[in-house]
């Protein structure tokens, strides 16, 4: 198993999907545990001359000793069940012959016996490497677009309002989530081996704490976006500034409390490895519970906002025919889905027999690109943002034009340190004075 596949499975099966069972373990760690069991059995049983083929660990399965001519059949390794849906997955078997030259090659091959689904002819290694590349590109794209959006919103003071401050905090949470994914992959899966299964350094655990904090913060700021919009539509008088401080506490403070409790519980009751495996379901619910709660509440808020929008669009005060009303409703709904993270509900409360491959592509594809979509919809396509950028561009163009023009026509004025805007003001005043003097000169003549 390559590091790309291992990191992808860990990221998807344990952290990005809040509905995943807490009993899921990173793939290479499952292999490591099976290897240890096999080595223990080898140590307990001394080699016997009656067996022509000794104990054998092939990096996936432990093969017991056998006599020449015997066919040993074993079930598919446990780790392959993580790649398949429970409904479609049937426990396959793999066999080896004990020959005079030792163990034969496994038949059928592990991939054919344990991993292929009906109608799926693609090589699994290429599939998982492709999805790994997909989420890497997605998080990288989101990171660049969100950073650009943050610079724009911070640069223009006219865009500083409660609504945009909430957007900026959401952008920061997406940025931190992307950074934490890259840091986690770099620390845990820098090598092809499974050394990280038994890493218990402070650095490694700090990375996992930071990762969980970033993911939780992202979910909570998605929840705050929904709560803010719902409150804005429901309440007539809405003290935004006073509420904003509570939003900060909820968005950044609540994840701090949850992750701190989780870290303390892990330290005292499940202090194993790098804390990247979650064998204790009760402790894992400290992280999983708030995530599911935020998704559920946000979905309820989303439905409530859609109902309010329908009522407002059907009001006699709103002009337009029925088709335009439905068009505006559909557009508003599509804009709210990425902002609220509604797509997480598709698998958050779905049955466990849904294909893991579909879950993998859906969550990583949408999850990694969600930051990019949010940045585009709520910054780059925002009318206020576009107006401010156009105004700044016009101002810069005019200043540059007059600075170049006056440099050629009036060198003394250009060298006096007066900028383009001041020169434009001077020229405007001069032209006004010239027009007034001309009118005064023409009045007696008439």
Note the pLDDT tens digit of each residue in 151-177. Answer: 999 988 888 888 889 999 999 999 999
C-alpha distances (whole Å) from 435 to each of 48, 406, 442, 445, 446 are: 115, 21, 11, 16, 16
- List, as one string, the DSSP characters of 240-276: HHHHHHHHHIIIIIHHHHHHHHHHHHHHHH---TTS-
- Fold type of domain 3-115: Hormone receptor fold (4.10.1240)
Mean pLDDT (the chain) is 75
> Which pTM was predicted?
0.68
**What's the pLDDT score for residue 172?**
96
With residue 72 as reference, give the H or E element that holds it: strand 71-75
Mean predicted confidence (pLDDT) in 365-372: 84
Domain boundaries, the chain: 3-115, 124-381, 389-435
**What's the pLDDT score for residue 388?**
87
Q: Which two tokens stand for residue 60?
A: 């996936």
C-alpha distances (whole Å) from 318 to each of 155, 172, 322, 325 are: 36, 36, 11, 9
Q: 9 or 54: which carries more pLDDT confidence?
A: 54
Mapped onto helix, strand or coil, the DSSP state of residue 183 is helix
Beta strand residue intervals within 86-199, DSSP E: 93-99, 102-103
**What's the pLDDT score for residue 313?**
72
Mean predicted confidence (pLDDT) in 369-395: 88
Q: 68 or 150: which carries more pLDDT confidence?
A: 150
Mean predicted confidence (pLDDT) in 20-49: 69
**What's the pLDDT score for residue 199?**
57
Q: 435 or 207: which carries more pLDDT confidence?
A: 207
State which of 144-153, 201-210, 436-445 shows the largest mean pLDDT: 144-153
The reply to whether CATH 1.20.1070.10 applies to domain 124-381 is yes
Residues 93, 75: contact at Cβ < 8 Å?
Answer: yes
Q: What percent of the chain has pLDDT over 70?
A: 65
Q: How far is CA 157 from the centre of its chain?
A: 29
Write out pLDDT tens, residues 64-98: 888 888 888 888 877 666 555 555 556 678 889 99
Write out pLDDT tens, residues 294-343: 988 988 888 888 888 788 777 666 555 656 665 666 666 667 777 677 76
Q: 159 or 439: which carries more pLDDT confidence?
A: 159
**What's the pLDDT score for residue 154?**
92
**What's the pLDDT score for residue 175?**
96
pLDDT above 90 for 221: yes
Place of tokens 């990288």: 140
Confidence grade of residue 399 (pLDDT, cut at 50, 70, 90): confident
Burial 326-364 (b: 16+ CB within 10 A, else e): eeebeeeeeebebbbbbbbbebbeeeeebbbbebbbbbb
Q: 145 or 203: which carries more pLDDT confidence?
A: 145
pLDDT above 70 for 263: yes
Q: 309 or 264: which carries more pLDDT confidence?
A: 264
Q: What percent of the chain has pLDDT over 90?
A: 20
Residues 281, 23: contact at Cβ < 8 Å?
Answer: yes
**What's the pLDDT score for residue 83?**
57
**What's the pLDDT score for residue 197?**
58
CA distance 8 to 142: 18
Q: Which two tokens stand for residue 240?
A: 């935004």
First to last CA, the chain: 97
Q: 273 or 165: which carries more pLDDT confidence?
A: 165
Q: 132 or 355: which carries more pLDDT confidence?
A: 132
Q: Of the given ranges (59-68, 113-122, 370-379, 381-390), which has the lowest mean pLDDT?
A: 113-122
CA distance 295 to 370: 15
pLDDT above 60 for 118: no
């Amino acid at each position: 198993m390559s590091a790309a596949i291992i990191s992808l499975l860990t990221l998807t099966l344990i952290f990005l999907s809040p509905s995943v069972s807490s009993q899921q373990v990173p793939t290479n760690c499952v292999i490591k545990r099976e290897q240890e069991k096999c080595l223990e059995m080898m140590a307990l049983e001394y080699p016997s001359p009656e067996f022509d083929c000794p104990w054998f660990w092939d990096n996936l399965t432990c093969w017991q000793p056998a006599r020449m001519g015997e066919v040993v059949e074993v079930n598919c390794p446990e780790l392959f069940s993580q790649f398949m849906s429970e409904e479609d997955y049937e426990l396959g078997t793999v066999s080896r012959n004990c020959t005079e030259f030792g163990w034969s090659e496994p038949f059928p091959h592990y991939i054919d016996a344990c991993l292929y689904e009906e109608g799926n002819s693609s090589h699994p290694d290429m599939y998982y490497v492709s999805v790994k590349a997909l989420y890497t590109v997605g998080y990288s794209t989101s990171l660049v677009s969100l950073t650009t959006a943050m610079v724009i919103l911070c640069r223009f003071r006219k865009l500083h309002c409660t609504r945009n401050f909430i957007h900026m905090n959401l952008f920061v949470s997406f940025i931190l989530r992307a950074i934490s994914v890259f840091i986690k992959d770099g620390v845990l899966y820098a090598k092809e081996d499974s050394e990280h299964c038994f890493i218990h350094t402070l650095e490694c655990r700090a990375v996992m704490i930071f990762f969980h904090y970033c993911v939780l913060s992202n979910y909570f700021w998605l929840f705050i976006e929904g709560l803010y919009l719902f409150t804005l539509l429901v309440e007539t008088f809405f003290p935004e500034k006073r509420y904003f401080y509570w939003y900060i506490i909820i968005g950044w403070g609540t994840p701090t409390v949850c992750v701190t409790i989780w870290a303390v519980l892990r330290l005292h009751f499940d202090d194993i490895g790098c804390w990247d495996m979650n064998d204790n379901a009760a402790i894992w619910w400290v992280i999983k519970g708030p995530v599911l709660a935020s998704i559920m509440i946000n979905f309820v808020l989303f439905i409530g906002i859609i109902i309010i929008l329908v009522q407002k669009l059907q009001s006699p005060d709103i002009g337009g025919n029925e088709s335009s009303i439905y068009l505006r409703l559909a557009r508003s709904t599509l804009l709210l889905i990425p902002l609220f993270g509604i797509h997480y509900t598709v698998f958050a409360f779905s049955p466990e027999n849904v294909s893991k491959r579909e879950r993998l592509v859906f969550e990583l594809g949408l999850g990694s690109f969600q930051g990019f979509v949010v940045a585009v919809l709520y910054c780059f396509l925002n009318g206020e943002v576009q107006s401010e950028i156009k105004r700044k561009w016009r101002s810069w163009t005019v200043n540059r034009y007059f600075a170049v023009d006056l440099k050629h026509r009036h060198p003394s004025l250009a060298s006096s340190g007066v900028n383009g805007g001041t020169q434009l003001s001077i020229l405007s005043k001069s032209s006004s004075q010239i027009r007034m003097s001309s009118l005064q000169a023409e009045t007696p003549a008439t």
